[in-house]
Structure 1
Amino acid sequence: MRTTRLPAVLLAAACATATTAVAVGAGATFGAPSAHAADPGGQAFAIGDPRITESSGLAASRQHPGVYWTHNDSDDGPYVYAIDSQGRTVATVTLRGVEPRDVEAISLGPDGRLYVGDLGDNLGGKWPEVWIYAFAEPAELHDQTVEVTRYKVRYEDGPRDAEALMVHPVTGRAYIASKKQGGGGLYQGPEKLSPTGVNTFRRIADAPWTTDGAFSPDGTRLVLRGYFSATLYRWKDGAPSEPGPLSTPFQRQGESVTFTSDGRALLYGTEGKDSPVWRAPLDDEQLPDTVEPLRSPTPAPSAPSDPSDPASPASGTAAPPSRAEGEDAPASTGDKVLGVAFLAAIAGAVFGLRRKKREG
């Protein structure tokens, strides 16, 4: 969704996440370093297609490992793009007979279909209905035009703006999270979407300010993200529970999120030209129920000490201390300078937004 001014509540959030942004800029790990010493996270790729300047949703492919589906939001057309792990477009899919209004989300269902949410409402909830388009994930990656099924959607409690569509990977039920300053709602669709008539979505839970969301591949976790933050929920008996905050990269307009196909990490995307997509591994306690935590290899037994070796404890001279496995090396001067500069840039951006808000 295109914006020119952020709500005041989000400016405070930007300041709160500045420390996280510096850590990401310096290559720090997401989560517990002992579990992810070999997977520190960081930028996975950047979307290089000049046509994709407002990437607003992400979905990991099941048929094509390392491929992600994305789309622009408004003013683009009926297009969905397949992006590989290098950020290259490997297929452009045109949705036949569709004239989208404000496409904001994409999700992959258990039936092998991609669901595209034409849910955005820049008028603040004035459209009487919105739409979901569904089509089979292509078996081959090349430019093509596909037939779609169109579902008409209304909310039980009236029109609203929304940018997150999540199809449960086990039940196939669709959920929408509305976008509202101060908190929105999580809406549940009918057990099965109907291509005729109206599909009414009813509110089942509160939700934070949400620009995208995704279920884990096994359906036991739900993530909802906003511009500067994200929340992870356990999903049980068709409802979210036990919310917990996630560390997120600082992005200029965080718009998308998806789980990797193995469920071990999240990918965060943003709008803009050459927009970066960041990978954030999940801590052990955050992993989906069917994903085993990674364990550090057991160190090999050490050889007996040689008293004649000056570095041996038996020699009376202590060996120099070494870093524990998974412990980060001390930051170099360059890293410190980078961190300070990055923090200053963020502070300047937030100050500018505040000034712009006052002048507006």
Structure 2
Amino acid sequence: MRRPSVRPVVRSFALLAAVLLAGVPTAPASAAAGDDGFTIKDPRITESSGLAASRLHPGIYWTHNDSDDGPYLYAVDGRTGNTVARITLTGIGRPRDVEAISIGPGNQIYVGDIGDNLGGKWPYVWIYRLPEPKVLKDQTVRATQYVVKYADGPRDAESLLVHPRTGRVYLIDKKEDGGHLYEGPATLSPSGTNVFRPVAPVDLWATDAAFSPDGRRLAVRGYFGGILYAFDDGTLKRVGRLDVPLQGQGESVTYSADGAKLLYGSEGAQSRVIAEDAPGGGDGGPGASAAKDPASPSGGDGTGDGVKVGAVVLAVAAVALLGLRRLRRRS
């Protein structure tokens, strides 16, 4: 479900940005097999909106379409980009606007049907949970459905993440001037309503987020950049910025299973998933080196290609935001 007058504008400006940045060199990534990036080849996947690295099946990444597809998840081989399984969810209602996917303890897959492009139309949203299949083949899996409300009223969101140690579920709302990290109950209840409460501000127009495998870092991405936070029981501390590749419509992010890479996905047919080194390498723990952040005193020096890329990104972002504001004033 989407507002037709706004999302195409975002896509148009994001595509413009991609054209402007074409030719800017990027460092080659080196990673374990399946973790160095890939192209999604399945013609059924045209709006990949979430991404999660499997721990049960090394090199496999779970994704899904944004909306208008059905209750489906796709297991994509990171070595080839081919789909190796399509899962059909049963035991749930009709998905409305599926925006995120995450894997929690015990290889439980969580799916966020949390999109609300009208910014508060839906009084509640849904989360689905299912066990990750031990065998990768086309099959039907029964899921548990949870009803979710926000303590401070309905909102749009595209980021769902499950803490890898505690299993607690978090959401981040999507607001152009920055949103909040929302914390769910310690245990989600399949009966009644699960109320998510804001616990920390997030300084980004977030389109997805992911915990590091040890749960001590939180990577948040947007259309034009990203932020790395240290995470401590719902408390966030900004560590630095992320080197997010500019994509046609950057919608997803996940850590590789070993935490060495961050993989960024985008909507569109034959979309490319791009791998970048995760700040701190392996586990992304608090002792790891921080990402360069020009907004922090200990950040990078901001010279060379970084300035050129940053200048183009900021310019395009400013134009995109101006266009969106004008559209909203007219609507």
Q: Which residue of 1 aligns with 2:9?
A: 5
Equivalent positions of 1:1-360 (< 5 A) are 3-6=7-10, 14=17, 22-23=23-24, 26-28=25-27, 44-85=37-78, 86-98=80-92, 99-207=94-202, 208-284=204-280, 288-289=284-285
CA distance in 2, matches of 1:285, 1:59: 18
Match of 1:334 in 2: none
In 2: Cα distance, 1:185 partner to 1:28 partner: 32
Question: Measured at CA, do residues 347 and 133 of structure 1 come closer, stay the same or move farther in structure 2, by a change above 3 Å?
Answer: closer
Partner of 1:4, secondary structure, is helix
Distance in 1 separating the partners of 2:281 and 2:218: 14
Instruction: Assess, with a 3 A threshold, how the Cα gap between structure 1 residues 292 and 124 changes in structure 2: closer, same or farther.
Output: closer
Q: Distance in 1 between matches of 2:322 and 2:142?
A: 48
Query: Which deviates further from its counterpart, 270-279 or 237-246?
Result: 237-246
Q: Residue 129 and residue 283 in structure 1: after superposition, are their counterparts in 2 closer, same or farther (change >3 A)?
A: closer
Equivalent position amino acid for 2:43 in 1: P
Q: Is the 8 Å Cα contact of residues 106 and 165 (structure 1) preserved in structure 2?
A: yes
User: What is the letter of the counterpart of residue 239 of structure 1?
Assistant: T
Contact kept? 1:107, 1:167, Cα under 8 Å: yes
Shift, 1:97, TM fit = 3.6
Q: Measured at CA, do residues 235 and 18 of structure 1 come closer, stay the same or move farther in structure 2, by a change above 3 Å? A: farther
1:5-30 CA-partner distances (Å, limit 9, x unpaired): 1399x88x959x966x644xx34258
Cα distance in 1 between the residues matched to 2:245 and 2:122: 33
Paired residues, what number? 299
Q: Which of the pair has more CA radius of gyration?
A: 1
Kept in 2, the 8 Å contact 1:215–1:221? The answer is yes
Give me the CA root mean square deviation: 3.6
- Superimposed CA distance per residue, residues 130-159 of structure 1 (whole angstroms, 9 cap, x where no aligned partner): 000000000000000011100000000000
Is the 8 Å Cα contact of residues 57 and 104 (structure 1) preserved in structure 2?
yes
Q: What is the distance in 1 between the residues matched to 2:195 and 2:313?
A: 42
- Do 2:151 and 2:197's aligned partners in 1 also have CA atoms closer than 8 Å? yes
Evaluate the alpha carbon distance shift between residue 242 and residue 346 of structure 1 in structure 2; reply closer, same or farther with a 3 A threshold.
closer
Tell me how far 1:84 sits from its aligned partner: 0.3
Give the Cα–Cα distance (whole angstroms) in 2 for the partners of residues 225 and 96 of structure 1: 30
Quick one: percent identity of the two aligned structures?
52
CA gap 1:351/1:200 in 2 versus in 1, 3 angstroms: closer
Q: Secondary structure at the match of 1:284?
A: coil
Secondary structure (helix, strand or coil) at the match of 1:74 reads: coil
Contact between 2:217 and 2:286, CA under 8 Å: does it hold in 1?
A: no
Name the TM-score, length of structure 2 as normaliser. Answer: 0.80
Q: Distance in 2 between matches of 1:239 and 1:159?
A: 23
Going from structure 1 to structure 2, the CA distance change for 1:43 and 1:154 (only over 3 Å counts) comes to same
**2:11 touches 2:249 (CA, 8 Å); kept in 1?**
no
2:298 corresponds to: none
Find the residue that maps to 2:49 and give its secondary structure: strand
In structure 2, how many angstroms separate the alpha carbons of the residues matched to 1:66 and 1:122? 32
Structure 1: give runs of 5+ residues left out of the alignment.
31-35, 294-339
Q: Which amino acid aligns with 2:57?
A: H
Shift of 1:238: 2.9
Shift of 1:123: 1.3
Aligned 8 A contact 1:263 1:291 in 2: no
- Change beyond 3 A, Cα 1:87–1:115: same
Task: Supply the AA of the counterpart residue of 1:135.
Answer: L
Residues 174-212 of structure 1, C-alpha deviations (whole Å, 9 max, x = no match):
000000111111100001101111000000111121111
Q: Is contact 2:149-2:196 (8 Å) kept?
A: yes
